[in-house]
Chain A
Amino acid sequence: MTSEAATAAIPALRSDQLFVNLGPQHPSTHGVLRVGLTIEGEVIVKAVPDIGYLHRGTEKLAEARGYHHCVVLTDRWDYVASMPNNLVFCLAAEKLLGVKATPRADALRVMMCELNRIASHLLFVGTYGIDIGAFTPFLYAFREREMILDLFEMVCGARLTYNYIRLGGVMVDVTPEWTAKLKEFLEYFKPKIDEYDQLLSYNPIFMARTQGVGLITAAEAVSWSLSGPNLRGSGVVYDARKADPYCGYENYDFDVVVGKEGSCWDRYFCRVTEMRQSVRIVEQVLAKLPEGPVMAAGVAKIPKPAPGEAYAHVEAARGDLGVHLVSDGGVSPFRMHVRAPSFLNLAILQEKLVGMKISDVIALLGSTDIVLGEVDR
């Protein structure tokens, strides 16, 4: 319903409408999202998300880069969880090249992606707490997140933009010291998730602000093409790791976490519970880490795949991340398209924000956990 139609329906009660700019530098929009809100009193009658403030033209730039160079660009889509970005591009490019990663490389890829999922969800727990008005969980969540970043730094030298997963495998093997440190971290981390539950998840104020707010039904979630915890929070059981396993996910035992009613709290709690599942997966990978090389033989320095198309998708921290590559036989992709989960998760806001109170806007916006680098690319 447009704002005009909404107000025309109740002419006697019509009051002045106010246009409020949310962003692009609002501290709770998680980046540079701008939402144009038309409000009447406290109720939102129209919401128009305005994106493109971080459009860096990655898809176009990929057409002028070699396949190895494109991995660097992928790091900067979803900069909170870069490993799955590396992975999805490499999977698509490997399909084009006809290369298959070694078993050890596959296991390391799974391990890194799951660790990165934990780091990403920790950032969500911290920042969502701030959005709702609780500052303390931010400090706790970042304490643990720094430990994961230390692990990444030990193995590949970078804290955020890893470029660790390469065509045909991974950049470098892990050392025994690293695995010892990882085990130490997992033992330390498991009880911490209960601490977040005490601090934030079952905090009465937090629950009052998020339970029953921003309800998205399962049918709506599917029709708006949501994915990741946003979809599972509405009770839809879909996870690319189960539905279309890659890198040997079928060998690991884990549950797909779903919520009940699709409220902000459900989406939040899905992510907290997913961290437990990720810990489970990492432990299993550690227990049966196969030996062998971490890089497949026969990946050219300048790969020139045969003309054709390939699509690969993975379950990234924010949802179903896909890459469609078209090759014309040249040194760089003819076209690269990214199915960015944040972009599709953002679209539902324009419908869901209408009718909400202005104080709930940030609760819903924060719970979708968008990263603007991935929305705009």
Chain B
Amino acid sequence: MMIDHPTLGPRDAAEFVYMGCASLINRPDWQAEDALQQFIDYGYQRDNPSGAHRELWFHEGGDRSWLVVTRDTVTHAITQVELARDVARREGRSK
């Protein structure tokens, strides 16, 4: 698989480390009423879809950026690659 890095261009997936579903960016609010249940779901439950999957890849053998890659889990075709920082900012997770 080749990952088209937003700033570096196409890179071999072997340069990356896989983390899992991109929803892991959205860490629950620890002060919420149901924080315990939210953290159990966050830590242990996954959608695990067959088809399009947004997921976190870390460019360990490169610029050490975190990416959000949209990839089809049935065909391995990659349709979108974004910097995780941009995604997190868009979702109001960081400044």
Determine if chain A interacts with chain B.
Answer: no
By a beta-carbon cutoff of 8 Å, the part of chain A in contact with chain B is: none
Footprint of A on B, CB under 8 Å? none
